[in-house]
Every structure is written in structure tokens, then in C-alpha cells.
Amino acid sequence: GGAIRMDGKLRAFSLGERISQNMAVIYFEKADADVPGLYPLINREFVAHAWTDVRYINREEDMGLEGLRRAKLSYYPAYLLKKYRARLPESPLV
């Protein structure tokens, strides 16, 4: 993980791990939204210090949140995976 402190206070942090030779995944990152540019900064610095040799960074799904989707698309992903849902029927199958 990585963190950014400003004036002695934690202002941003990120957590992820390398999952293969060519890919790392970022599970979450949080930053003080009142500090302009802090989200891109924690993203850039965490990746630059942790995974200089990784080709792909998986930023996981956007959970259907439009703002989060826009933010993730702003990094120009190499590709997006199609998601599917499975659910049990409300009544038992006969």
C-alpha cells in the first residue's frame, strides 16, 4: 500500500497487490477530495513506487457509479471486461 501525508495528517492512501508477472490490482484508494489532484497523485505515486515493471494495473469495477466510471476511464484502460450476474430463481425449478 501507499499513503500521502500533508501537514502531519493522512490525506490519501491506496492498497493493492501484484497478482501476476504482468498485472497488479488496486483494491481501493481514498483521498481528501478537498485537495485538488490528490486522487491522481496517490495513483501515480503508488504505482511508480510499487510496480515499475508491471504492464497492467487492474483498477477493478466501477460498481455502477457514474463518477467512478468516468474517473477510471480517464486512465484510458487497455481493455474492459464484460461483467455478468448470476442469480437464483425466486421459485424452485421443477
Q: Is the pLDDT of residue 40 over 80?
A: yes
Q: What is the DSSP letter of 83?
A: P
Q: Inform me whether the pLDDT recorded for 42 exceeds 80.
A: yes
Q: In 10 A of CB 40, how many CB atoms?
A: 13
Write out the three cell numbers for 21: 508477472
Question: What φ, ψ does residue 48 adopt, rounded to 5°?
Answer: -65, -35
Phi/psi of residue 85, each to 5°? -125, 145
Structural domains in the chain, CATH included, are 2-73 (3.40.630.30)
The three cell numbers of residue 31 are 483521498
Q: Are 58 and 19 in contact (CB under 8 A)?
A: yes
Q: Which residue would you say has higher pLDDT here, 41 or 87? A: 41
3-state class of 16 per DSSP? strand
